[in-house]
Structure 1
Amino acid sequence: MRLRHAPATGVTAAVLAVAAMTIAPTAAACAPPRGALTSTQATTSAPVPAPTYASSLTNRREPRCGKVSDPEFPITTHIHGGPDDYRPGGSAGTWSLDLTNTTSEVCRDIHPVLVLVDRHRALNVSQLTLEITDGEGRWRTLPLEKTEQDEIIGVLDDGSPGLAVPAGRTVSVRARLAFAAGTEPNKIIVTAATVQRRGSDGDWVGESNAYRLSLRAGAGDRGGHRGGAGQGNCAAHGESGGGPGASEQGRTAPRTPAP
């Protein structure tokens, strides 16, 4: 796994754990402990266990998305349109994830990695369901893992080819999130790390804004109250819009906000 530059340690650990999970799910526990990754280590390649899917996918290496020497990520990643509030036992809240390719070449085999961090560090994978649309628009349920940093991560680990994002264009996927009845009230932050799989390795090529949500007490029958969540998340990071077909968005260094 090659990282574009040295980001906040918590996000780094989550992405490294997901890279291992994507290639070999049994290796998810290899994420480094918080504070163990230095700036020098973050900019070097780390070995990843051999894939468990078909050898034809193992040997495939797509052209690298952007230049490793570039200080910013080549894929601008933006979450918007999600509800502010969720209810345990309520229906799923739906939101969008825009992936904008800021380079002059198509970026292939792109995989969004969703990372959830809750204020109380008490949320378990059995208490939520997270789905995302694939390259053909079909809803897929994400397998979830909890890291040593108490971050819940979700990514399709079935060896699928991922998304192709044309040069200068935006590809949008939909995501939906629901919480099981009985889940305690909490504050949660959702971010998306974008990874390009390259054979048995991968590059971290994008990091999203923070989508902040509240899990309220009591059961509900809706995904939640929107209340301008998309605009608030966008403004907090100095981004502007970013729907399908949007032009290049400003790229910023990734952050790890606290819930």
Structure 2
Amino acid sequence: MIRAPLTLILAALALPALAQDCRDLTYEGNPYTLCEVDTAQADLRLFLADDTGTPFGQFSAVDRALAEQGKTLGFAMNAGMYHSDRSPVGYYVENGIEIMGVVPGAGPGNFGLVPNGVFCIREDRADVIETTAFLSRGTDCSYATQSGPMLVIDGALHPRFLVDSTSRYVRNGVGTTADGSRAFFVMSSSRVTFHEFGRLFRDALDLPNALYFDGNVSRLHAPQIGRSDAGFAMGPIVGTVVDLGASTHPSN
């Protein structure tokens, strides 16, 4: 784990109080790190590749690109499964442009543990939506990433999760409130089962819908708490964008 530079920590601390908040918590004996985002206040986006089409792969690469605009990452994490060339396995939209279409059925790996879902970012809100429901609604997203499996579906755990499962990984995912006003990005700090991870979103955070992003390669960038993970190159990345000029020179 790489500690974030002091400038990034100060930038994160300069955010509006309710825009985002990263903190550690423990539930049922398992430690987690949670970043809660106010979707009306935060500039929440997805990132895949730079202007040349080269995948960012690392939080530091996204930060360098944002720095050219006088901005930085407030928080970020990997956001969905990807192929060896870093392209997304499922549906992916960035800045209103569809890069990958919706995969309506099963896909590779945990993505194929249907039902899977879509994390959809729109103006002033973000929602986790099960894939078939997403297709039936015809929702337009400014940013979207498809992953799987769903962790919580309309208040119920994924039907194929086992209480006594022996499959344990460091896992990360996202859950959203019913009104889309808040998104909760969570990464486990130890190896947990799908059932344990889903219970955190359903029971501890009381969220109606939650989506699994990935496991084992899960990483988090949270300069607010002095953390920025590095490792194998990632595919899609979700994060908040902070305008450094606005954060250091707030209006009267």
Instruction: Please give the TM-score of this superposition, normalised by the length of structure 1.
Output: 0.27
**What TM-score, normalized by structure 2, do the two folds share?**
0.27
Structure in which a larger fraction of residues adopt strand: 2
